[in-house]
Amino acid sequence: MAIIAVFNQKGGVGKTTTTLNVSASLGMLGRNPLAIDLDPQSHLTLACGIGQLPADKSIVEYYRNNKPLQELIQHSPRDLRVIGAHPELAKVDALYGKSASVTGKLKEGLEAGLAWDEAPVLIDCSPMLGVLSLNAVFAADRVLIPVSADFLSMQGVYRLDAALRVLEKPLKRKIEKKIVLTRFDTRRKLAFEVYDKLKQQYGDDVCDARIHENVSLAESPSRGKDIFEFASHSRGAQDYGALTMELLQKGFFE
């Protein structure tokens, strides 16, 4: 079971889009992934077609009442396995504060209930380095960082990288990461500059596959569909297919 946190403290960079479409692509390849929505905004739960869940059928029930994670798995209309979120998840911070035990809670639940499961787990994080995202990073073997191809997002990567390095100490291990450029607009010189700069700094940690700005990717969440179902011939489908193949080839899901 490879556990991947899809994280960036910036909003709107494509975390949810990436979690959904890489999961869908892995699903089409027969890898039966599990996607976990760890964002109170519940965008992944909505975008995959499950729709708004009651809190007690979402991951909130694991944090509130220790309901085993495997009992919270939902199946999307496309048969993607998803543990959904609910706005009440925002209260986890308030419930537990920053006590040391809560940062390890998701890891504990995954090990207890899903250790036998060989399929990859992808965790869609909220855009804050709070208790929830710490849960994801502590549980994860690796972090996938979507970065939109603009100047401020690039600055955000440096800060995020520094924060991950700080976390390596309590975790007592290196946090392996891959950076994927999203919302790449080939008409903008800046997009290529951002890619080159990140490549210089992070080398092989930057994926060769880039996700271009694509209207089908913007439209598909409102239909509750992944890009392969919504527009299988779109640039977005090609890009997410290529990204998934690259990550598989690099052993990211092993």
Ligand X SMILES: Nc1ncnc2c1ncn2[C@@H]1O[C@H](COP(=O)(O)OP(=O)(O)O)[C@@H](O)[C@H]1O
182 contact choice in Mg ion, ligand X, none (CB below 5 to 8 Å, kind-dependent): ligand X
Locus of tokens 């909505």: 46
What is the distance between the alpha carbons of residues 104 and 101, in angstroms, rounded to a whole number? 6
Residue whose CB is less far from ligand X, 11 or 170: 11
The region of 22-30, 57-65, 81-89, 216-224 touching ligand X under the rule CB under 6 A is 216-224
3-state secondary structure of 212: strand
The residue range among 9-17, 67-75, 195-203, 225-233 that interacts with ligand X, by the rule CB under 6 A, is: 9-17
Among residues 3, 7, 17, 22, which is the contact residue for ligand X, using CB under 6 A? 17
14 binds ligand X (CB under 6 A): yes
Nearest alpha carbon to residue 109 among 219, 3, 215 = 3
Distances (CA, A) of 239 to 23, 33, 137, 221: 13, 19, 25, 17
To the nearest whole angstrom, how small is the minimum distance from the Cβ of residue 222 to ligand X?
Answer: 8
Nearest Cα neighbor of 75 from 110, 34, 109 is: 34
| Residue 243 engages ligand X in binding (rule: CB under 6 A) | no
Residues within window 54-93 making contact with ligand X, judged by CB under 6 A: none
Q: Which of 153, 182, 234, 244 binds ligand X (CB under 6 A)?
A: 182
- On whether the CB atoms of residues 168 and 132 are closer than 8 A, the answer is no
| 211 part of the interface to ligand X, by CB under 6 A | yes
CB 8 within 8 A of CB 147: yes
251 binds ligand X (CB under 6 A): no
* Amino acid in the structure at residue 142: R
Q: Is 213 in the site for ligand X (CB under 6 A)?
A: yes
**Using CB under 6 A, which residues numbered 18 to 47 contact ligand X?**
43
Residue 143's closest CA among 164, 115, 114, 173?
164
Size of the site for ligand X (CB under 6 A): 17
Whether the CB-CB separation of 66 and 19 falls below 8 Å is answered with no
For residue 236, the minimal CB distance to ligand X (Å) is 6
By the 8 A CB rule, do 33 and 119 touch?
A: yes
Q: Is 13 in the site for ligand X (CB under 6 A)?
A: yes
The reply to whether 103 sits near ligand X by the rule CB under 6 A is no
Options 76, 214, 234, 244; binder of ligand X; rule CB under 6 A: 214
Give residues in contact with ligand X (CB under 6 A).
11-17, 43, 127, 182-183, 211, 213-214, 217-218, 221
